[in-house]
Amino acid sequence: GPKVLQIPSHQIIDMGQMVTLNCDPVSNHLYFYWYKQILGQQMEFLVNFYNGKVMEKSKLFKDQFSVERPDGSYFTLKIQPTALEDSAVYFCASSLEGLGGRYEQYFGPGTRLTVL
């Protein structure tokens, strides 16, 4: 099926540092998402993004988080500064259509973020 790529697969950083997680969504998809999964738990929605704008975000999407996709390049999640509780696996997803909800989201392999 369609492939979403994420770079890096694993990132270890010190608390307080900035980190950028990169996502290469499916080429013709228009809607982009980030989800967070703490080890052994269910995935939780963070944010969705369309046409250069954040459309919806959850309470997990703290002020230290930001997303962008400059000029159709990577869809990024930036955390600045990081905190210990940000340690998790972050999954990027993309879909062809978001509104109406019919089109399934395709997920990347995740980036495991470890904050020390």
Give least dist CB 115 to other proteins, A.
18
Nearer to other proteins, 43 or 81 (CB): 43
Enumerate binding residues for other proteins (CB under 8 A): 1, 31, 33, 35, 41-45, 48, 50, 55-56, 58, 89, 91, 95, 97-107, 109-110, 112
Instruction: State yes or no: cis peptide before 25, omega within 30 of 0.
Output: no
Give least dist CB 106 to other proteins, A.
6
Give least dist CB 37 to other proteins, A.
9
Q: CA separation (Å) from 38 to 14, 20, 41, 89, 113?
A: 18, 18, 5, 6, 10
Q: Which residue has the tokens 């969705």?
A: 48
Give least dist CB 103 to other proteins, A.
8
Nearest Cα to Cα of residue 21 among 116, 110, 115? 110
Nearer to other proteins, 14 or 51 (CB): 51
Nearer to other proteins, 82 or 95 (CB): 95
Nearer to other proteins, 58 or 81 (CB): 58
